[in-house]
Homo-oligomer: A and B are copies of this chain.
Amino acid sequence: MPAMPPVLPHPAAAAPTEPADGTPAFSPLYQQIKGLLTRELQAGVWKPGEAIPSELELASRFKVSQGTVRKAIDELAAENLLVRRQGKGTFVATHAEQQVQYRFLRLMPDDGVPRDMARRLVDCQRLRAPAPVARALDCRSGDAVIQMRRLLLAGGRPVVFDEIWLPGSLFKGLTAERLAEYKGPMYGMFEAEFGVRMIRAVEKIRAVAADASSAPMLGLPVGSPLLSVERLSFTYGDRPVELRRGLYNTEQHFYRNELN
């Protein structure tokens, strides 16, 4: 006698084949599980670096098979929200305690050996969002934002000049002092101190000429070609939470990208 086949579709999967509005909207079970896990991550049920419950535990909690939980976790791991470690468990991804110091920084020295860079804070102030910044951060022009500028140095020489904009509402109490005293990557501090986790980002890259304000910062003559990297970073739910414009001196470094 063969194993009992399921008699009914799984309750959570019982969605109409084609809703009235024409949108496809058929959601496999594992996608729903993925959504539930994402919401718990967003709510901070499990902190960055912590283990989430085991696959079997989650399977019994959600009343699905291990394989279904597994597929959900697979996708979250592919999106770098979770990290699997065989024999140990599945962990919430974190920007801190990471082998790569800057997960989003694609700059490499010409010899290809990544070395870690020193940081030097230039200034940090609260002010009202200029219109383009407000547009990018999806807040109102004039809302409180934090602007901060800093340098990254390789071998004592400035290589990157960053100007960073953060929504004031999410980063209350962020001051130059707290920035200065924190060790490790800035995104690590953001998630540990402010609960803001950068999930993904898009960059717009151009070549520009160094102007009178950026040239001295990088110790270059005005007019030198610089890589302009404008980055918009997102947290859960595709909410933009950081706008950053970096000017890179690419005389001894390059921006590395992989295509496939």
A→B interface (CB under 8 Å) = 3, 79-80, 103-104, 106, 199-209, 223, 225-228, 230-231, 248, 250, 254-260
Contact = CB atoms under 8 A, between A and B. Distances in A.
Nearest to A103: B259
A225 B259 CA distance: 24
Given A200-B258, A205-B254, 19 more contacts: A80-B260, A104-B259, A106-B257, A106-B259, A200-B260, A202-B259, A203-B256, A203-B257, A203-B258, A204-B254, A206-B250, A206-B254, A207-B207, A207-B225, A208-B225, A225-B225, A227-B227, A230-B254, A257-B257
A248 B207 CA distance: 8
Main secondary structure of the interface of A (DSSP, over half): strand
B203 A250 contact: no
A69 to B, nearest CB: 16
A223 B207 CA distance: 12
Contact of A205 (B202, B205, B208, B223): B205
A259 B204 contact: no
B79 A260 contact: yes
Contact of A257 (B80, B205, B209): B205
Contacts of A103: 259
Given A80-B260, A260-B79, A207 B204 contact: no
A58 to B, nearest CB: 21
Contacts of A201: 258-260
A255 B204 contact: yes
Q: 8 shortest A-B CB distances, which residue pairs? A: A206-B250, A207-B225, A207-B207, A205-B255, A200-B260, A225-B225, A204-B254, A207-B227
A207 B255 CA distance: 10
Contacts of A258: 200-203
A193 to B, nearest CB: 22
28 contacts: A103-B259, A200-B259, A200-B260, A201-B260, A203-B256, A203-B257, A203-B258, A203-B259, A204-B254, A204-B255, A205-B205, A205-B227, A205-B250, A205-B254, A206-B227, A206-B250, A206-B254, A206-B255, A207-B208, A207-B226, A207-B227, A207-B248, A208-B225, A208-B250, A223-B223, A225-B225, A227-B227, A230-B254
